[in-house]
Structure 1
Amino acid sequence: MTDRPGEDSRALTARQLTALVVARATSCAGFFAVLPYLGLWLVEAHGLSGADAGLVVGAAILANRAGGVLLVPLIHRLGLKASVGAGYLGAVVAFALLGMGLQLPASGWLVLAALVGLFLAMATTAMKAQVAAFAPDQRLRGFSYLNMAVNAGSAVGPVIGGFLLEWHASSLPLSAAALDLVALAVVPALPGAWRAPESPRPAGGGGRGRWLPQRRFVAFSLLVCGTWVAYAQVFDVLPAYLGDAVSTRDLGLVFTLNAVLVVALQVPVSALSRRVLNRPRAGFAVLCAAANAVLAAAVLLFAFGRSAGLGLILGAMVLFTLSELVWSPLYDAQVGERRGQLSTTAAYALAGVAWGAAESVGAWLGTLLVVRRSGPEALSPAAAPYWGAAALALLTGLAMSWGGRRTTDKPLGGREGNAHVVDVSAGS
């Protein structure tokens, strides 16, 4: 018996968790093996102009961020597990076409890159909805493993891509196709049935509730954007901010430290987070406020990075990672808690677009303020994005913790309906 319609109270099995990690890690590795080098590859191997190559890369990123929303009706029709498989299969085909040596105009490359982003967005959105169908403690566990897999894949992918670009550039997209083929191979072991039946629609609401976000979900999604803007100052703006103060090799070490710590600590930190969440009072409020406070401290330390040296930057990255280990899976799990009448698939698609937009705006604004701003001091104009991000993270934590005092295991905004009932048997 489950607590809510579409929710499975059983634990994720070791086989299912392994399949989730392998699929997510290999698909991320494939995407990030190509994305950082796609523009250069198109210019050097296919003669595109810099402007055209930039449009192609932008199309892949935009489709990957927003594609989940566009494909929600198709995911509902196919079912979650079939959608994950279809997404990875489509990515394999699109990457293979990119690597076949075709002579295409810029518009042709743009379409193929956009298809890569769309197919991977389809698989990611459906996979998150699969995990969200479990009970709250299992959701946090599943999203913790997914966060670990994403960081592992995004760390390994650029290494693979950089090696191939030097050794055999023409095989760059084919390596991504091979990695997505591995992800496709483990889809049968993922949670759920291939064609999950739809649960009954809420009485009196027709099907509209699956598409209309309620106020609490909108408020939650927008508040979380503050954390993502702060996140962008580290992952998207930091190389531009540090500039000549830190060598490229040392900067690579900083980001490698983040990936290693996520892989090593995500599971134990998530176990601790689950214990805090199970406390009878304000578990979410404590976690959210603490994670954003640590994030604020980390970005403040990064503000001193131009003058303080590598040691302080590494310490700041440790704090940043500890924060990320808590808030990243926690927010993903809360989407399933706070979606109201919205379908699980639509909820994760809409949240993904909002958070992707917040990261993009944060990266744009931070880069705008950092580039061509001089001064090594932490109070120089170039450090303004980091002071602003620290304040924003603190405000986000306070606002989220205040709202989190009302969070329980009961659905927010009334009885929830789910577009899919996921059958998770031990042998699936």
Structure 2
Amino acid sequence: MVSRRGAADGADGGRFAALAVARATSCAGFFAVLPYLGLWLVEDRGFSGGRAGLVVGACILANRAGAVLLVSLIHRLGLKSSVVTGYLGAVVVFTLLGTGLRLPFLGWLALAALVGLCLAMSTTAMKAMVAAFPAEQRLRGFSYLNMAVNAGSAVGPVIGGQLLDWHAGLPLAAAALHLVALAVALALPGGWRPSPTPPPAGPAAGSGRARRLLPQRALVQFSLLACGTWLAYAQVMDVLPAYLGSAVNARDLGLVFTLNAVMVVALQVPVSWVSRRVLDRPRGGFGPLWAAAGAVLAVSVLLFAFGRSAGLGLVLAAMVLFTLSELVWSPLYDAQISERRGALSPLAAYALAGVASGAAESVGAWLGTLLVVHRPGTGSVSSAAPYWGAAALALATGAAMWWTGRAPSGGRPSTHQPPPAVAGAETEAEEEGEGNDHDVDVSARA
């Protein structure tokens, strides 16, 4: 006879497995398309570099920042229904993109933004679903999601690169992978209807909610400064295939992106341990650590700039340096948002920061694709301009972060102190799953 504990462990294992498989297959589908979308639009659809960059940017912006627009809708639909709806929408849109429709530019732009919104809905709802788990299960749930994200982003570029090399239907592969995610999502925990929300506890709760919707100067300043890093990040994760398309074949480029994801999975924990040691040193702290990561990022994008002439070996070396930088600044970015959010709720803080980072990556993807796509008479130096600019931005952002991080405490981030209690705030935080006991190191692509 199976014990109650054994049955519970089996149910929990099935729940976590469903979360991981759905998230991994969705990420694989998204990253099978995103790094190559600009190149595919130029080569298979005859787009100019500027228009292809706008389509890529619209997809990124909607995926990164769409959560701000969808919070009310997710609440009305319920978490499980929102995950399923998002994956269903992704299947439909990717299928439309892959059927060879002759759409005007605005049609492609709208579909790219729509698929980004669909995936933003499913991702946000899934994170909220894990945040609603019992406290002792949240860390495990978020860890499963983090591993799933990196596994999917490792497999996706390989699939996309191979399909692009075969001149096969790239969006149709993403539709198939999201169809698998949709099937698995049906087994996720929870009901199909949203849980009733109790009314706020008194007038103080309303004023507390208003205070928690207004970002403070520290968060706004940090989010805007970090945009320089996100612009540099976009030149690698979103523009690189278009830049190297004539020098490195798509299959090898898929392996380059896989190297990035595998390194994130293997090294995030030890690198985060080193980062915490640096943060605690008397001459360390947030500013010097971000500046060092920015310097490594700058070197990596400079190496990518020479990838057209130097070949795959230099591109692989550049990706190693890029990933080492990402392993430092990506979790540091998430931690600083929490440090600087003030009275803002965690959900609102990360949503607003996502608007800034998504806008920066979107602009970077559009501008980079516009400048690197080959035109008659365009030289290699001018087409590498986004990478020179990205290196300068990475260095400038690091210097700015070092300067703003200088404080009487030596620039070391202090432990976040929650704002004074407001009537009803504790209940509200529990409902939204905003506890601090599920912090994990999450990569930028999560």
TM-score, structure 1 normalization: 0.71
For 1:310, the equivalent position in structure 2 comes to: 312
Deviation at 1:363, TM superposition (A): 2.1
For 1:393, the equivalent position in structure 2 comes to: 394
Which amino acid counterpart does residue 94 of structure 1 have in structure 2?
G
For 2:224, the equivalent position in structure 1 comes to: 222
For 2:289, the equivalent position in structure 1 comes to: 287
Query: CA, structure 1 residues 196+24, in 2 after alignment: closer, same or farther (shift >3 Å)?
Result: farther
Deviation at 1:184, TM superposition (A): 5.6
1:90 aligns with 2:92: no
- Give the secondary-structure state (helix, strand or coil) at the position aligned to 1:185: coil
Contact 1:197 1:420 in 2 (8 A): no
- Give the secondary-structure state (helix, strand or coil) at the position aligned to 2:23: helix
Deviation at 1:88, TM superposition (A): 1.5
- CA distance, structure 1, for counterparts of residue 401 and residue 420 of structure 2: 20
Contact 1:87 1:119 in 2 (8 A): no
Q: Summarize the alignment of residues 22-421 of structure 1 with structure 2, pairs less than 5 Å apart.
A: 22-33=21-32, 61-75=60-74, 82-83=78-79, 85-95=80-90, 97=92, 116-126=115-125, 149-160=148-159, 166=168, 173-183=175-185, 185-186=187-188, 205-279=207-281, 282-371=284-373, 372=375, 374-376=378-380, 380-404=381-405, 405=411, 407-411=413-417, 419-421=428-430
- CA distance, structure 2, for counterparts of residue 230 and residue 275 of structure 1: 26
Query: CA, structure 1 residues 154+197, in 2 after alignment: closer, same or farther (shift >3 Å)?
Result: farther
Gaps of 5+ in 1: 1-12
- CA distance, structure 2, for counterparts of residue 130 and residue 275 of structure 1: 32
Contact 2:286 2:402 in 1 (8 A): yes
Contact 1:33 1:172 in 2 (8 A): yes
Deviation at 1:384, TM superposition (A): 2.7
Task: Write out per-residue CA displacement over residues 80-132 of structure 1, whole angstroms, 9 at most, x where no aligned residue.
Answer: xx53x333211233245556999999699988875543342134335556889
- CA distance, structure 2, for counterparts of residue 301 and residue 170 of structure 1: 33
Report the identity percentage.
63
Gaps of 5+ in 2: 1-11, 406-410, 439-446
Contact 1:24 1:149 in 2 (8 A): yes
Deviation at 1:401, TM superposition (A): 3.1
- CA distance, structure 1, for counterparts of residue 144 and residue 184 of structure 2: 18
How many positions carry a matched residue from both structures? 395
Which amino acid counterpart does residue 390 of structure 2 have in structure 1?
A
Task: Write out per-residue CA displacement over residues 304-351 of structure 1, whole angstroms, 9 at most, x where no aligned residue.
Answer: 323333322211110001111121222123223322222222222222
For 2:3, the equivalent position in structure 1 comes to: none
TM-score, structure 2 normalization: 0.69
Query: CA, structure 1 residues 105+19, in 2 after alignment: closer, same or farther (shift >3 Å)?
Result: same
Contact 1:34 1:176 in 2 (8 A): no
Q: Aligned Cα RMSD in Å?
A: 4.8
Task: Write out per-residue CA displacement over residues 201-222 of structure 1, whole angstroms, 9 at most, x where no aligned residue.
Answer: 9778342223221111111111
- Give the secondary-structure state (helix, strand or coil) at the position aligned to 2:207: coil
- Give the secondary-structure state (helix, strand or coil) at the position aligned to 2:416: coil
- CA distance, structure 1, for counterparts of residue 364 and residue 108 of structure 2: 28
Deviation at 1:199, TM superposition (A): 8.8
Query: CA, structure 1 residues 132+340, in 2 after alignment: closer, same or farther (shift >3 Å)?
Result: farther
Contact 1:223 1:396 in 2 (8 A): yes
